[in-house]
Amino acid sequence: MRLLILFFCLSSLSSFAQYTFTHTQDLECTEVKSQARTGTCWSFATASFIEAELIRQGKGNHNLSEMFVVRNIYSDKAKNYVLRQGKANFSQGSLSHDLIRMIAKHGAIPEAQYSGLLKGETAHNHSEMEKGLAGFLDGVIKSKRLSQKWPNAVESILDTYLGPAPKEFKYEGKSYTPSSFVKSLSINPEDYISITSFTHHPFDESFILEIPDNYSNGHFMNMPLDRMITIIDDAISKGYSIAWDGDVSEPGFDAKQGIAVLPTEEKREDLFKKPGKEVEVTQKKRQMNFESYNTTDDHLMHIVGKAKDQKGTEYYIIKNSWGEISEYKGFLYMSKAYLQMKTVAIMVHKDVIK
């Protein structure tokens, strides 16, 4: 079993150049992993979130296989793509609710029993597999008269690139199937809710969020910005982590520097050297950014705590899935302004919003 990272065991004071961060709350989470050359951040972020949930609930430290879920999503997307005659998104991306949905449908497997890496491989790379699957599916669709053979062909492609998934396995001295393993951990998919904040739909109602990776038409509860931020803050204060989905394409986001800020002057030369003035975020600005494509669904990560810089500005401690980069070993500090503007959606345990 891999070692659990107790993030609070890191120094409560972290510094990079002239940024000095004081941790105000840390949540326990598992170690940073790397999605490598794949678009599977959604699986890494949400698996990390579920692993933290298991720790929070006193169920121990477990390393879940991201690629078992990814494999099932590829199969699910393939069927959706074919039934929609190619008029649907087929890519590597998905969202947090897709991992939850696949766990409910197909179960889960520990990483040690299914890594998605073939013998001799040390890093994930789905580029060729994705293109091969897409090309095959386009060919199937063009045939116009479909047989029942193509789903088995999809599984064969997945077996070739990811390896066959075990139907049964042993873990900590016991035998499981993927479904019985989830049952043993008492993971309840109904406990988790997705939340967003946009004005083109009514608040306090759920709607299908219009982003490309929402291929499964997942519903999101729509809330005013201040309420969504309050839920995030309340969750952390009560010991609950959060799965985060948002935009990381801004000049103020740099995972290698371990910083995400929203400066009033984007071309500041000292942007990553010291704190500066940030944009004042409003609901209207959020909406304008979303509708102009300035805020897009780029990346999913895991919120595991809070901190302040030397000027008292609030930050969220974020666990990324790009390996142990930066002085912060794969974690980064995201300012409250950045989070307010660039959050597309979050997932939390439903008890947080009761």
Q: How many helices (H) and strands (E) does the chain have?
A: 9, 14
Q: How many whole angstroms separate alpha carbon 178 and alpha carbon 182?
A: 7
d(CA 104, CA 185): 12
pLDDT at residue 301 above 90? yes
Reported confidence tier of residue 180, pLDDT bands at 50, 70, 90: very high
Is the pLDDT score of 264 beyond 80?
A: yes
- Whether pLDDT at 13 is above 70: no
Please determine, for residue 3, whether its predicted confidence score (pLDDT) is greater than 70: no
What tens digit of pLDDT does each residue of 15-47 get? Answer: 445 899 999 999 999 999 999 999 999 999 999
Summarize the confidence of residues 319-335 as an average pLDDT.
97
The closest of 68, 7, 15, 13 to 32, measured between CA atoms, is 7
- Tell me what pLDDT residue 354 has: 77
Phi then psi dihedrals of residue 50, to 5 deg: -65, -40
Q: If you average pLDDT over residues 246-260, what whole number do you get?
A: 96
Task: Kindly tell me if the per-residue pLDDT of 232 is higher than 50.
Answer: yes
**What is residue 268's predicted lDDT score, i.e. its pLDDT?**
84
Q: Are residues 233 and 300 in contact, defined by beta-carbon separation less than 8 angstroms?
A: no
> What number is the average pLDDT over the span 130-136?
97
Mean pLDDT value across the chain: 94
Please give the structure tokens belonging to residue 252. 């103020």
Residue 190 confidence class, pLDDT cut points 50, 70, 90? very high
Question: Residue range 81-97: average pLDDT?
Answer: 96
Q: What is the DSSP pairing of strand 174-176 with strand 219-222?
A: unpaired
- The domains found in the chain, sorted by start residue, are 7-353 (3.90.70.10)
Range name among 80-89, 151-160, 198-207, 259-268 with the lowest pLDDT average: 259-268
Tens-digit pLDDT profile for residues 302-314:
999 999 999 999 9
Cross-strand partners of 347: 194, 243
Q: Per-residue pLDDT tens for 76-87?
A: 999 999 999 999
Please report, for residues 8, 55, 317, the alpha-carbon distance to residue 27 in angstroms, rounded to integers and kept in the order given: 7, 10, 9
- pLDDT for residue 265: 85
Element (H, E) at 344: strand 343-349
pLDDT (0 to 100) of residue 269? 84
Helix (H) or strand (E) holding 97: helix 96-106
* Residue type at 354 in one-letter notation: K
Q: Contact 204/223 with Cβ under 8 angstroms?
A: yes
